[in-house]
Amino acid sequence: MSFQEFKPRQFQQVPSVVKYILIINVALFVASRVLFTNFPIDNLLDLHYYKSGLFMPHQFITHLFMHANISHLFFNMLGVYMFGSILENIWGAKRFINFYILCGLGAALAQYAVYFYQDIEISAYLNTLDLNTMLEQKQYIYDSACLGASGALFGLLVAFAMMFPNTELQLYFVIPVKAKYLVIGYGLFELFSGLSNNMGDNVAHFAHLGGLVVGVIIMLIWKRNKTFFY
């Protein structure tokens, strides 16, 4: 059976893991933004740098279910619904959730690498920065938080593209682009944006790349072990 192009009519049902991911993400967003505005849910569940007083190990998992605003939540969950439903129906629940979490962890570790590099870089300029400036820059890193399903979603996108490379997707709901070219384009965009380090850009571009790279690695391992589709 060829998996070069996906036929939407093959899968109609939203599978269980994707359904629970959608429910948990929406529930936590409502809880943090509407129901418990005076309770620090974000401080507990967003991923903080390990030198921050807010860091806790469980945040490596919980940050995948937290979102900054309604558009952040909507587009991530739309992607999880679109690509996750297809992949879970093919792989089954266990393989799908393992892949999803591993890609999310890859994204978190990539973002941690960025934080660590920035932390070291600031310390390296100790002799050229005044103490207050250095402390302010370090505190900015320690106060930063990583949240969202984007890294895991990038893993799902690359998995879909590797299985159905010639399927046309609608970029911005208008422009038809084959899945394989969309992933390459997104990857290059995230790399360029991350290296540009533009002021005011609060998107974790290297986290997206981390999820993408881990997704590629897992898919190549599965392909080598003849478990690419099963």
**pLDDT for res 197:** 65
Domain boundaries, the chain: 12-224
Q: Which stretches of the chain are DSSP H helices?
A: 16-30, 41-45, 59-62, 70-79, 85-91, 93-124, 131-143, 150-163, 179-196, 205-224
**CA–CA separation, 164 vs 180, rounded Å?**
8
* Whole-number pLDDT of residue 204: 78
Q: May I ask the CATH architecture of the domain 12-224?
A: Up-down Bundle (1.20)
Specify which residues 145 forms β-bridges with. Answer: 48
Phi, psi of 139 (to 5 degrees): -65, -35
Q: Do 150 and 204 meet the contact criterion of CB atoms below 8 Å apart?
A: yes
Helix, strand, or coil here: 46? Answer: coil
Tokens 């806790």 label which residue?
56
| Per-residue model confidence (pLDDT) at position 39 | 77
pLDDT at residue 173 in the model: 65
- In sign, the C-alpha dihedral spanning 71, 73, 76, 82 is negative
Which pLDDT score is estimated for 1? 35
- At 224, is the secondary structure helix, strand, or coil? helix
Whole-number pLDDT of residue 30:
93
- Residue 216: C-alpha distances to residues 45, 59, 83, 93, 205 (Å): 27, 24, 15, 19, 17
Q: What is the pLDDT along the chain (230 residues), one digit of tens a residue?
A: 345 555 554 445 789 999 999 999 999 999 988 877 777 888 899 999 888 889 999 999 999 999 989 999 999 999 999 899 999 999 999 999 999 999 999 999 998 888 888 777 776 665 555 666 666 777 777 788 889 999 999 999 999 999 998 887 776 667 787 888 888 887 887 777 767 766 556 677 788 899 999 999 999 999 888 665 54
